[in-house]
Amino acid sequence: MLIRSLRLTWGVLGLLLSGCVVSAQSTPVRIMSLGDSITGSPGCWRALLWRKLQTAGITNTKFVGSLPSPGCGFTYDGANEGHGGIQATGIVQRRELPGNKGPTEILAAFGTMVDWMRESKKDMKILVAQIIPINPANCRQCGDRVVALNKAIPAWTASKNSTDSPITVVDCWTGFDTARDTGDGVHPNNAGNEKIANCWFEPLRRAIQG
Ligand SMILES: *[C@@H]1O[C@H](CO)[C@@H](O)[C@H](O)[C@H]1NC(C)=O
């Protein structure tokens, strides 16, 4: 099963992915977090999310990916694919494109990646985030681009949905405040990490146990 979320880069608009691949049939359930720096470096919301799963008694998980867990104050299962600055359009075209892509192009790239993921595992579950707001000092338009992307996600998700490989939209936008929950307008601080862990927990729990 695959769980992913989207991220926008700052500066130029880009799209980052963050997500988790989980394999429902196998034990443990494999989960891949796929995304950019908000996902990966340090991405301590993943540590908090892992701890919430443990606390809830959900221990049949294995987080997978080529990147190690950065220090988040305690030991956790933190393998991931959170690559700083990564863009969906760049992945699809095998190179990083300049940013400033609109939701249509970004989601088309996401669609291609969903097809690839289903080729690797036809019944993977996919969780896509409506991403946290951003307000970087060097990109005043980026906030509106996130709004536009998040708005386009439900229809795109429904169009790519399937019974074998269901897609769930995860709302990480609501309640997140760039002034309170980030240090730089983009990357979550401790309060922001808590909010991101919270937005993922229930959808992830359902995906693992469902
Ligand atoms: C995708 O389909 C599943 C049922 O297979 C449904 O529960 C889910 O809400 C659908 N997701 C979207 C985004 O339409």
Q: Confidence class of residue 87 from pLDDT cuts 50, 70 and 90?
A: confident
How large a percentage of the chain has pLDDT more than 70? 83
Amino acid present at 115 = D
**pLDDT reported for residue 8:** 29
Q: Ligand 1 atom closest to Cα of 161?
A: 1
Separation of CA 166 and ligand 1 centre (Å): 6
**pLDDT reported for residue 70:** 80
For atom 12 of ligand 1, the residue with the nearest CA is: 158
Q: Which of 88, 72, 78 minimizes the C-alpha distance to 35? A: 88
- 91 has a pLDDT exceeding 90: no
Q: Which two tokens stand for residue 72?
A: 């988040």
Q: Confidence class of residue 6 from pLDDT cuts 50, 70 and 90?
A: very low
State pTM to two decimals.
0.84
For atom 14 of ligand 1, the residue with the nearest CA is: 158
- 38 has a pLDDT exceeding 80: yes
Higher pLDDT, residue 172 or 20: 172
Distances (CA, A) of 59 to 45, 74, 88: 17, 16, 31
What CATH number corresponds to the domain at position 166?
3.40.50.1110
| Total domain count, the chain | 1
pLDDT in tens, 65-77: 999 888 899 999 9
Separation of CA 74 and ligand 1 centre (Å): 35
**pLDDT reported for residue 210:** 83
Q: What is the mean pLDDT of residues 103-123?
A: 89
**pLDDT reported for residue 4:** 35
Domain with 49, as residue range(s), is: 2-209
Amino acid present at 86 = I
- 150 has a pLDDT exceeding 60: yes
Which residue do the tokens 């997140």 mark?
176
pLDDT in tens, 183-197: 999 999 999 999 999
Cβ neighbours of residue 6 closer than 8 Å, sequence gap 6 or more: 15, 16, 17, 18, 35, 88, 106, 110, 128, 129, 130, 131, 149, 153
**pLDDT reported for residue 13:** 25
Output the ligand 1 site: residues, CB below 6 A. Answer: 157-158, 161, 163, 166-167, 169
